[in-house]
Amino acid sequence: MSSESRLEENELIRRAKKGEFAAFEELVNMTEGKIYNHLLRLVNNPSDAEELLQETYLSAYKNISSFKGNSTFSTWIYRIATNHAFMLFRKRKPELPIDELPLPTHEELKRREIRDWDFDPADAAQSGEVREILSEAIGELPENYRAVVLLRDIEGFSTAEAAEALGINEGAVKTRLHRARIFLREILSSHFAPEELAAMEGK
Amino acid sequence: MAYDKLSCKEILEKLSEYIDEELDPSMCDEIDEHMGDCPPCVAFMNTLKKTVKLYNTSGDEVDIPSPVRTKLHDFLRRRCNEEKE
C-alpha cells in the first residue's frame, strides 16, 4: 500500500470513527471485493458468503473505535470475516476436529516411489479441469488449515499478515501451511501421478 | 549459528520454509546437501513446489455480484443508522 493511500485510509478511518457513514462506506468499497472472494473460497457457498459479508461489515462498523491502526484496515477486516466464518463452522459442526494433519516420514517417501509431475504448473493452472481439481482439494482441507492456505498461497499474504488476519502466531501459520500443502499435494498427486503409491497402507 | 545437523524428519518439517525462502542460509545448504543424495525427497519437494505454484497462479478474483453488493450497502445503511439511534 502506498503512503498516499495509507494516508487516505487513515483519514477515512478517522471520519468513520466519528460516525460518518459515507467514510465507512468508502472503506467498504475499497475492500468488499477481496473480502467477498475470501469468504466465498473459505465457505464455498455463495449465500453463506453473502450473509457473512454483511455480518463482517456490520461488526466492523460497530467496532471501528477499537481499530488501532497496528495493521491495515484490510487485514483487520480479513480477521473479522474469518472469525465470522469460523463461528458459522462451529455452529454447524460444534465438534470441529482439531486433529493435526500428518507429515510423511522419510522411509515412507522412499517406499512410495514418489516421482516428479511432468508439467509446468503455471501452464497447468490455466486449464479449467485442473482448476476444478485444485478447488475441490481446498474444499477437503479442515477449515483452520484452509484459511491459512487461502491467505498465504492464493491471496498472497505474508506470514506476518496471515498471522494478524487469523489471530494466531507466525509459528502456527507456518506449521499449518506446511501440513496443508502436504495434504493438498497428496490429493493432487492422486490425479497427476496415480502410479505413486498411496500415503496410507491399504489406501 | 551453530546447531545440530538436521534429521530427515526435521528436513521434511522445514520444506515449506525452504520453498518460501524463510530459512537460515546454513539450513538451506544442509537441505541442498541432503537433496543431492535423495531422489524421493527431491521429487517430494518438487511436487510440493508445484502444488504451491499451482495455487499461486490459480486465484482468479470474481467480481462481487451486483445484487450482493447492492444488498450489502442497503443492509449497512439501514443497520448502521439503527446503531446510531
Residues A82 and A42 in one domain: yes
Q: For chain A, positions 84-143, list CB contacts with chain B under 8 A.
A: 103-106, 109-110, 112-117, 119, 121-122, 124-125, 130-131, 134, 138
Number of domains forming the structure of chain A: 2
Is residue A201 in a domain? no
Is residue A134 in a domain? yes
Chain B residues with CB-CB distance to A105 below 8 A: 8-9, 12
Tell me what the mean pLDDT of segment A103-132 comes to: 89
Three-class DSSP category at A115: coil
In our burial notation (b when 16+ CB lie closer than 10 A, e otherwise), range B36-73 reads eebebbbbbbebbbbbbbbbebbbeeeebeeebbeebb
Tell me what the mean pLDDT of segment A47-53 comes to: 98
Residues A186 and A111 in one domain: yes
Residues A129 and A187 in one domain: yes
Residues A112 and A187 in one domain: yes
At which of A44, A66, A92 does a domain end? A92
Q: Average pLDDT, whole number, for chain B?
A: 89
Given an 8 Å threshold on Cβ–Cβ distance, is A34 in contact with B61?
yes
Is residue A166 in a domain? yes
> What's the Cα-to-Cα distance from B11 to each of A83, A87, A174, A179, rounded to whole Å?
33, 36, 14, 14
Which pLDDT does position B58 carry in this prediction? 84
Chain A residues with CB-CB distance to B50 below 8 A: 117, 119, 121
Which domain range does residue A136 map to? 106-192
Which pLDDT does position A199 carry in this prediction? 62
> Which value does ipTM take for this structure?
0.88
Residues A88 and A110 in one domain: no
B74 at interface of A, judged by CB pairs closer than 8 A: no
Is residue A44 in a domain? yes
Q: Residue A36: closest CA among chain B residues belongs to which residue?
A: B64
Helices (DSSP H) in chain A: which residue ranges?
3-17, 21-43, 46-63, 73-92, 106-111, 121-124, 128-140, 143-149, 159-166, 170-192
Residues A118 and A85 in one domain: no
The percentage of residues in chain A with a pLDDT greater than 70, rounded to a whole number, is 94
Residues A127 and A156 in one domain: yes
Tell me what the mean pLDDT of segment A68-95 comes to: 90
Per-residue pLDDT band at B3 (split at 50, 70, 90): low
Q: Which of B48, B64, B83 sits opposite A185 (nearest CB)?
A: B48
Which pLDDT does position A182 carry in this prediction? 96
